[in-house]
Structure 1
C-alpha cells in the first residue's frame, strides 16, 4: 500500500497535465511553433516535460550503445593482439621447422641407423649418434605438432578478429544513430524554448514549483518516508562525491569529471565508493536489488518514469541529488520532482552506519528549475 500511494501521489500531477495537453494539442511529441491552443502554461509545461523525457530516453539509449561499443572495442583490440601473437608464434614455428628440414637434408644418410651401428668401427660412437638422431626425430615431430596447433589457432583468431571488427562497425553505426536521435530531440527542446516569451518562461517555472511542492507535501505528509535511516559507509561516500559535483553542468552521455548526465552521476558517485554500477539508468533499475520506497536510506538510487529513463541519489529528508536535464546543473531537488518508478540499492549486503551527518551542501544547491528552462541554468552542452 505505501508504494502504491507514493506512486499515485507523484504521478497524479503529471497525468493531469498530460490530459490537459491532449485536449489542447492532441500530441506533445513535436516542437512546431507554438499555436494558440498550446500557449497555456499548463500545456507548455506538459509539452516541455514530454520532450525532455524523450531526450533523456534517447540519451540513455545512446549511453547503452556507447557502453556496448566500448566493450566491443576492447574485445576487438584484445583479439587483434592475440592474433598478432599467434601469427608471430606461427612464423617462429615455420622458421624452426625449416631449420630442422635443412639440417635433415644436409646430414642425410643412405644407411639406416641399424646398419650404421653394424658397420661402425666404434659401436659406442654409433650408439651416441643413434640417440641424437632419435632425439632429433622427436624434436621434429614436436615442432610439426606445434606448428599444426599454431596454424589452427591463428586461423580461428583471424575469423574471430573479422567477427569482432564487424560487430564493432555495427555498434559504431548504432551509436551514431543514437547520437543523432539525441541531437534531434535537443533541437526540438531548444526551438520550443526559443519561441517562448519571458512571461511564459516565468510561468513555467512558477507552475513547476507549485506542482512539485504539492506532490512533495503529500509525499511527506503520507508518512511513507522514514527520516531516521542512515546510509552504509559506501552510501555515505557516494553521497559525499555527488554533493561535490553540485553546480556542474548536465551533458548528455557525460560521466564526469566536469559534466554529467543522470546515470553518469550515479555511476561515478558509487564508483568513488568502490561499487561498479551499470552505465544506464535502465540497467541500474534492472540489475540492482529493489528496495521498497518506505525503506529508502541515503545513497539509494531513485528511478523515475515508466521506462526508467531518469535516476537520482537519495539524499535523505525527501531530497535527491541528480543531474536533471539538458540546460540544468547537478542540484538537489524534492524526491517528488518527477514521477517515481521505484528505488534500488547498490549495496544491499552492507549494514547502515550507527550515526550519519549528511554532507554539507553548497550555497544554491536547490536553485534552478529541474526542467532546464530557467534563465540561470547551464547551457546544454554536447562535446561529441
Structure 2
C-alpha cells in the first residue's frame, strides 16, 4: 500500500507541474562567426530558428536512436558471452576426446604387442594347432569375446574421433559467430556514442533557463500522454494482483530509484532500461532476456487489461524501451542518459505491449 501511495504521489506531482514555457519558445541559432575579408555569404544567415519544442523532439529522437543501438549492443554482448562460454566447453570436450583417443590407441597397441609375443599368429590359427578338445572349446569362447572386444574398441575409437571432429567444427563456428558479434558490438557502440554526442551538443548550446524549460516541456509531454491514457478508462479494467515473484521484482526495481541511467549498465550503481528490468527479475529468481527487444520477442504477451505489478511494459514500435508496472497507472524505469531511475506514468510513452516474465 505504501508503494502504491508512492506511485500515486509521483504521478500527482507530475500532473501538478505547470508549463514554464510555451512550445513556441525560440531556440537561438549559433552566433555567426566574424566576417572574413572577401567572404561571399554568411553561412548562418539562412539558418532558421527552432522552437524549444522542436529542440526537445530532436533530442528525444537522438536518445531513441541511442536506445535502439544500446539494445543492439546489449544483445551482441549477451550472445558473445554465451559463445565464449560455449567455446570453453567445446575446448574442454576436445581435450577429453583427445585423451580418450590416446587411451584407446594404447589399448589397441597392447593387443598388437600381445599377438606379436605369441609368435605373430592370430588366435584362430593358434587354436587350430591344439589337440585338446576342451582347450579348443575354451579357446573358441575366448576368441569370440576377444573379437567382440576388438570390434567394440574400434567402434569406440571411431565414434570418439567423429565426436572430436564435430567439437572442433562447432568450436570454429562459434568462434566465427563470436567475432561477428564483437563487430556488431563495436558498430553499436559507435552508433550510441554518435547519437549521445549529438544530443549533448544540442543541450550544451542551451542556456540554464532553456534547459529548465526543456525539462518542463518533457514533463508536459509525458503528462499529456498519461492523461490521454488514463482518460481511456484503462485503469478501470486493470486490477491484477502481483505474484510473489512479481512483488520481489517490484521491490528490487523501486529500491534503485535515484540511480543514474548508463547505457549497457546492469547495476548495482547504474542501469539502462532493460538492465533494470532484467536484474529486478533475476533478483526475484527468474532469468529473463537482457534487452527490451528480446523481452518483447521471447516473453509471454498479455492484454493491458490483465496487467499486474511486476509485468513489463514495452514501449515504441521498435521495442527500444521497457518499464516495470507498479500499479495505479505507474511504472518504474531508467529513462535515458542524463536521467535517473524514476517513477512515471505508464501511459507517458507509446505503449507497444505488455509481457509477463512469470506467466
Q: TM-score, normalised by structure 1?
A: 0.74
TM superposition shift of 1:129: 5.7
Which residue number in structure 2 is paired with residue 143 of structure 1? 153
Q: Secondary structure at the match of 2:105?
A: helix
The counterpart of 1:211, out of the listed 221, 226, 246, is 221
Deviations 1:231-283 (A, max 9, x none): 22222111111111112221212222222111111112122223222221112
Please show how residues 1-384 of structure 1 align to structure 2 within 5 Å: 37-108=48-119, 112-118=125-131, 132=142, 135-226=145-236, 228-348=239-359
CA distance in 2, matches of 1:234, 1:38: 51
TM superposition shift of 1:49: 0.4
Q: Secondary structure at the match of 2:352?
A: strand
CA 1:211–1:124: 2 relative to 1, 3 Å? closer
Is the 1:225–1:296 Cα contact (8 Å) retained in structure 2?
Answer: no
Give the gaps of 5 or more residues in structure 1. Answer: 1-18, 26-32, 349-384
Is the 2:250–2:326 Cα contact (8 Å) retained in structure 1?
Answer: yes
CA 1:167–1:255: 2 relative to 1, 3 Å? same
Q: Secondary structure at the match of 2:358?
A: coil
Is the 2:224–2:348 Cα contact (8 Å) retained in structure 1?
Answer: no
CA distance in 1, matches of 2:276, 2:192: 18
Q: Secondary structure at the match of 2:106?
A: helix
CA 1:101–1:319: 2 relative to 1, 3 Å? same
Q: Secondary structure at the match of 2:129?
A: helix
TM superposition shift of 1:149: 2.1
TM superposition shift of 1:131: 5.1
Q: Secondary structure at the match of 1:168?
A: helix
TM superposition shift of 1:190: 2.0
CA distance in 1, matches of 2:297, 2:279: 18
TM superposition shift of 1:127: 5.9
CA 1:221–1:151: 2 relative to 1, 3 Å? closer
Q: Secondary structure at the match of 1:336?
A: coil
TM superposition shift of 1:335: 2.0
Which residue number in structure 2 is paired with residue 366 of structure 1? none
TM superposition shift of 1:173: 1.6
TM superposition shift of 1:211: 2.5
Which residue number in structure 1 is paired with residue 15 of structure 2? none
Is the 1:61–1:178 Cα contact (8 Å) retained in structure 2?
Answer: yes
Q: Cα RMSD over matched residues?
A: 2.8
TM superposition shift of 1:304: 1.2
Q: Secondary structure at the match of 1:337?
A: coil
Deviations 1:46-81 (A, max 9, x none): 111001101101101111211221222222222222
Is the 2:240–2:309 Cα contact (8 Å) retained in structure 1?
Answer: yes
Give the gaps of 5 or more residues in structure 2. Answer: 1-22, 30-43
Deviations 1:301-323 (A, max 9, x none): 11211111100001122211001
Q: Secondary structure at the match of 2:234?
A: coil
Q: TM-score, normalised by structure 2?
A: 0.79
Is the 2:230–2:347 Cα contact (8 Å) retained in structure 1?
Answer: no
Deviations 1:114-162 (A, max 9, x none): 44312xxx76567656655554444333322222222222222222222
* Aligned residue-pair number: 317
CA distance in 1, matches of 2:265, 2:168: 35
TM superposition shift of 1:89: 0.7
CA distance in 2, matches of 1:52, 1:139: 68
CA 1:100–1:61: 2 relative to 1, 3 Å? same
Q: Secondary structure at the match of 1:65?
A: helix
Which residue number in structure 1 is paired with residue 38 of structure 2? none
